[in-house]
Chain A
Amino acid sequence: MLSFISPYYQSVAILAMINAVSAVGLAVFTGFTGLMSLGHAAFIAVGAYSCAIATKIYGLPFAVGLLLAGLIAGLTSLVIGIPTLRAKLRSDYFTIATLGFGEAIRVLLENLSITSGARGMPGLAHYSTLLPTFIVLALVVFFTRNFIFFRYGRMAVAIREDHIAAEMAGINLFKVRLRSLFFSAVCAGVGGALMAHHVRFIQPNMFTNVQSTLLTATVVAGGMGSITGPIIAAVIFAIVPEVLRVAEMWRLVAYGAILVAIMVLRPQGIMGYREISLSGMIRFCRRLVGTGPGSKGGTAP
């Protein structure tokens, strides 16, 4: 199936989709709730290891591994989220705490026996092929949409916009922020699990600050307050470096420059607060054809 696409392009497409899964998760947290995490690499790592251990050591099916990855990454986020979010820390204190937490998790992974320490886990099965990855991405996008554009997401957005006014609208800051963090960590965990079974080898030093930064760059470039924006950015960030064949470190140099440039020149990113929706696309196509309500005369039907 899908074998008409060359393995190389398949691999790029899979990578783009995996990045999109984690980026959507971070978009919920940073773009919609307004908090920054430098510890998301830890949730990706926890997800990757959970799934790898589930499938390789316990022989569980991939789908179960994915669910476990999401669940365990989510629970891990509560360890840092409950104390820090309950204390209602200033947003930058929270970010520093996640930075520390991310590093602490990595050190733990390097020293646990079930993760085989710093040597890592090679020889994982190649489960993250095109179709399963696409299905997971579609599900993540579906759940994210349902979460963020309705009642529960509205509370998160209200906090991002003005946390004092949000509290005064009866919103419990702790609960809502924690819920966003949990959701976001679940997505990161699932992304990590997909990654583990795409690269087929995991090692603690794959999950450093750099990963967290890349995710943030994806969300920021795509536009904070948007879901489709970060997905577009994830695809661009996967394809462009492949096409240009640039070395990893030059990519990172570029991501750094992009982050600063966006903040200085265009903080709304590609999509900022807007979405490409299915109904919107249908309207757009109708307008192109000239039959939609938005069209002004033109071709007669």
Chain B
Amino acid sequence: MTITMTIANLSKSFGGISAVEDLNFNIKTGDVMGIIGPNGAGKTTVFNLITGVYQPTRGTVHFKGEDITGKAPDEIVKMGISRTFQNIRLFRNLTALENVVTALDLHNPLYNLAETFFLNIPFVDNKVKRAERQLREKAAYYLELAGIADQADKLASSLPYGLQRKLEIARALALEPELLLLDEPAAGMNPEESIALAKLIKEIQVRLKLTVFLIEHHMDLVMELCDHLYVINFGRELAEGSPEEIQANPAVLKAYLGEGYKRA
């Protein structure tokens, strides 16, 4: 068993107010790990700390044994971590396919700056054109993985909410990550849709051999999908364990799941 990510003593405060405090956990390679907690518990802050959007006040993040604390977001992405956003952040005026192609550029530098300037002559077959065709085919594959192949030429902003979330997943996959962070992938979905999404995520995870770390409020999805859960409340660790253990944990039930929660 190998460890993909180790979080140690991770803390972040904003102007003296602590958002997360002393978080410690590991993400095992090949697992689907969930982080849950009530609204405002600091879950998205954890994502922002891992991906370099914020610098931690204290603590470290190790990815595949390497310290990535304090690295810039684009460097972290290059190392193999990609994410989606809670409040969807697509390139809105680009088509679905173009959104994915943009992400593909990172690990597929098929031509360089000089080639794009000088070789790319209109109406003549050239290296740049061939590379672009190749990229579009590859992008179509990722759209298909996310189940939105038929939306390729639609503007991202014109897609319905649920499909925008899937497009974000497709874009994140095109960055060829080893660790995929999903921030509330099922937000705004009904129970059937979120179960379908759980199946899709599982399928993608197996097919691409990913490690997944996700934030989610839909308990059905969490229980269906996750191998391991980390629970935080008010920015601090509350519990850690398998979904079954978490469901039986009285502190968690009290803080998060609520009195009346029953597994559907």
Chain A residues in the interface with B (C-beta under 8 A): 143, 145-147, 150-152, 154-155, 157-158, 161-162, 164-173, 225, 273, 278
Q: Is A170 a contact partner of B91 (Cβ separation < 8 A)? A: no
Interface pairs (5), CB distance under 8 Å: A150-B111, A165-B89, A168-B82, A168-B83, A169-B82
- Residues 72-102 of chain B, each 1 if its beta carbon lies under 8 Å from chain A, else 0: 1110011000110100011111100010011
Looking at the assembled complex, report how far the CB atom of A29 sits from the nearest CB atom of chain B, in whole angstroms: 17
Q: Is B255 an interface residue (CB 8 A)?
A: no
B106: A residues at CB distance < 8 A: 169-171
Specify the chain B residue showing the minimal Cβ separation from A173. Answer: B74
Looking at the assembled complex, report how far the CB atom of A45 sits from the nearest CB atom of chain B, in whole angstroms: 26
Q: Is B117 a contact partner of A169 (Cβ separation < 8 A)? A: no
Q: Is A154 a contact partner of B101 (Cβ separation < 8 A)? A: yes
Q: Is B248 an interface residue (CB 8 A)?
A: no
Q: Is A158 a contact partner of B111 (Cβ separation < 8 A)? A: no
Looking at the assembled complex, report how far the CB atom of B262 sits from the nearest CB atom of chain A, in whole angstroms: 37
Within 8 A of A (CB), among B8-67: 51, 53
Closest 3 CB pairs of A and B: A170-B106, A161-B91, A165-B89
Chain B residues in the interface with A (C-beta under 8 A): 51, 53, 72-74, 77-78, 82-83, 85, 89-94, 98, 101-103, 105-106, 109-111, 113, 116-118, 120, 122-123, 128, 132, 171, 175
B109: A residues at CB distance < 8 A: 151
Q: Is B116 a contact partner of A168 (Cβ separation < 8 A)? A: no
Q: Is A154 a contact partner of B90 (Cβ separation < 8 A)? A: no
Q: How far is the CA of A143 from the CA of B77 in the complex (A)?
A: 30
B73: A residues at CB distance < 8 A: 167-168
Q: Is A161 a contact partner of B74 (Cβ separation < 8 A)? A: no
Specify the chain A residue showing the minimal Cβ separation from B82. Answer: A168
B123: A residues at CB distance < 8 A: 278
Q: Is B117 a contact partner of A146 (Cβ separation < 8 A)? A: yes
Specify the chain A residue showing the minimal Cβ separation from B131. Answer: A151
If A162-B89, A165-B89, A165-B90 touch, whether A154 touches B98 (CB-CB below 8 Å) is yes
Q: How far is the CA of A197 from the CA of B91 in the complex (A)?
A: 42
Q: Is B82 a contact partner of A158 (Cβ separation < 8 A)? A: no
Q: Is B117 a contact partner of A161 (Cβ separation < 8 A)? A: no
Specify the chain B residue showing the minimal Cβ separation from A161. Answer: B91
B74's partner among A145, A146, A172, A278 (CB-CB below 8 A) is A172
Looking at the assembled complex, report how far the CB atom of B130 sits from the nearest CB atom of chain A, in whole angstroms: 12
Q: How far is the CA of A150 from the CA of B78 in the complex (A)?
A: 20
Q: How far is the CA of A257 from the CA of B171 in the complex (A)?
A: 41
Q: Is B77 a contact partner of A147 (Cβ separation < 8 A)? A: no
Specify the chain A residue showing the minimal Cβ separation from B107. Answer: A170
A154: B residues at CB distance < 8 A: 98, 101-102, 105
Looking at the assembled complex, report how far the CB atom of A161 sits from the nearest CB atom of chain B, in whole angstroms: 4
Q: Is B102 a contact partner of A152 (Cβ separation < 8 A)? A: no
A146: B residues at CB distance < 8 A: 116-118, 120, 128
Q: Is A161 a contact partner of B120 (Cβ separation < 8 A)? A: no
Q: How far is the CA of A158 from the CA of B132 in the complex (A)?
A: 17
B78: A residues at CB distance < 8 A: 170
B74: A residues at CB distance < 8 A: 167-168, 170-173
